[in-house]
Chains A and B, each alone.
Chain A
């Protein structure tokens, strides 16, 4: 019998379609894996055993009836807990939403269901997607399957860890400043932030509306492409959804040919502040791309060093506004109503103090400050101008090259607790991923080896122009194939068994 949890998503779909295994058997194998390892990994906040088996059973029934199955029918998936799923607890990693069961599906969720994807449960995350380590979850951190003492990245550490720990072959993440790509980098998995507007934000609990974008996580490039194709496309329920066709990402992943392509190494993303082993594996991967027939040049994006600063003004500003709705009146918890005879504002203040964690409170206050009269122009206004400059940097770079590459994160996974008391050090994790969010351009992280000094995964980031997401998959699949040939087996097989 095939080890069902080790299959890729594409292989799983084929096994179900051919009848070699039923979708119910596939789902049960993953539920058993979750039972066996998730006490240690803590990738999931909620496991929907009943719903998963029912969805799998429906796929089996459709197959038995001779109905055509979608490309990912019967494949299990882990859903980040920031995406609503009707009737299933959705907490966003916050006490604020403890016990809330949304009355509706996000568009991503309904598209997954329509495609016969089997949703296993909801994954852990930094509270309201703010963080780079999943340590800001109110329900405790997720542990990196490579080393349980280390962070799995964030905010989507639960989704990345679930995939790395073979609890699910694929997962949904959301990426506001790197929350899909940085967890992928530190867990040895693949993660993609599509072009802004490519995937509907309807039902995605908003952090920073002009930056948030949902995307696929999986163990290889083709699987992320299949998932991307399943969830992307215009949605009238999201007014920021792009009314354009989805590029052929699956075709690009199958093409995997970089001959004649121009690839730019971003001068400003590397060097000082980047771990030696990260730089080494990145440089080796760039050499491989050259060997595959790409023309590699260095490209300067002079305003990228200001991206982090602009981001930590724009994000808190939008977040302070978006999170104002969590006031204990319409959903979530309400605290202190019965102490004294409080006014509605007093109850709001008590509820928000009890419901929000430290990092969320810090960012709401930072945003409140940046948007205040007297400081608005100097902070938020200037940050918006930097956003223009970064977008211009991308535009100029893409006149010279087809894609840009950089390390995804400056270091491999650090120890749990190591940066918890130093917000600024934590923010530096996203230094290479943030520019793409500010410009709205797509980015992918894929594993390119283990850092020699600590044996932990290193990610390489590919960035493409807006709406040219297919280039990520073409380049990513070509590099992945060359690395696989060199290693002889997928990188995740180097991880210690759980």
Chain B
């Protein structure tokens, strides 16, 4: 890429929304400035990433790692729920998922 796109406070607000983080408005400019600097530095990867180089996602050539389909013990319901901030009827209790009418 020839130049790094500039990161605005609106871009940061959008990223924060996508990442589900309520970044306070007064911090948007600060993050925009820092992300701009970091992206400017990391953009150099494009200098050597030519068409003929295959991408690598993982250091090990392991594929299709399966195990025998046998029954074994796992966490109990109570153990799985033991760290939950809110529990009801042996389930994770969460705030409302649907918008009200």
Contacts and interface: CB of A to CB of B under 8 A. Distances in A.
Contact of B44 (A104, A306, A366, A385): A306
Contacts of B48: 303, 306, 385-386, 389
Contacts of B84: 329-331
B88 interface: no
Interface string A247-284: 00000000000000000000000000000000000000
Interface residues of A, number: 70
Main secondary structure of the interface of A (DSSP, over half): helix
A343 B95 contact: yes
Given A309-B41, A353-B21, A365-B16, A388 B55 contact: yes
Contacts of A387: 55-56
B60 A197 contact: yes
Interface in A416-456: 423-424, 438-441
Contacts of A423: 34, 37-38
A101 B43 CA distance: 40
Contacts of A100: 83
Per CB-CB distance, the 6 closest pairs between chain A and chain B, nearest first, are A440-B59, A384-B55, A382-B49, A334-B85, A331-B83, A385-B49
Interface stretch (A73-81, A183-191, A222-230, A356-364): A356-364
A309 B60 contact: no
Interface of A: 100-104, 196-197, 210, 236, 239-240, 242, 303, 306, 309-310, 312-313, 320, 324, 327-334, 337, 341-350, 352-353, 356, 361-362, 364-366, 368-369, 372, 375, 378-379, 381-389, 391, 423-424, 438-441, 466
B24 to A, nearest CB: 7
A143 B18 CA distance: 36
Main secondary structure of the interface of B (DSSP, over half): loop
Given A104-B75, A337-B95, A385 B47 contact: no
A53 B94 CA distance: 40
Nearest to A239: B65
B5 to A, nearest CB: 8
Interface string B72-91: 00010001101111100000
A368 B18 CA distance: 8
A313 B42 CA distance: 7
B56 A103 contact: no
16 contacts: A103-B79, A103-B82, A239-B65, A310-B45, A313-B42, A329-B94, A330-B83, A343-B97, A353-B21, A369-B39, A382-B45, A385-B56, A388-B55, A423-B34, A423-B38, A466-B59
B48 to A, nearest CB: 6
B42 to A, nearest CB: 4
With a 10 A CB-CB cut-off, give which of B1, B79, B85 has the most chain A CB atoms: B85
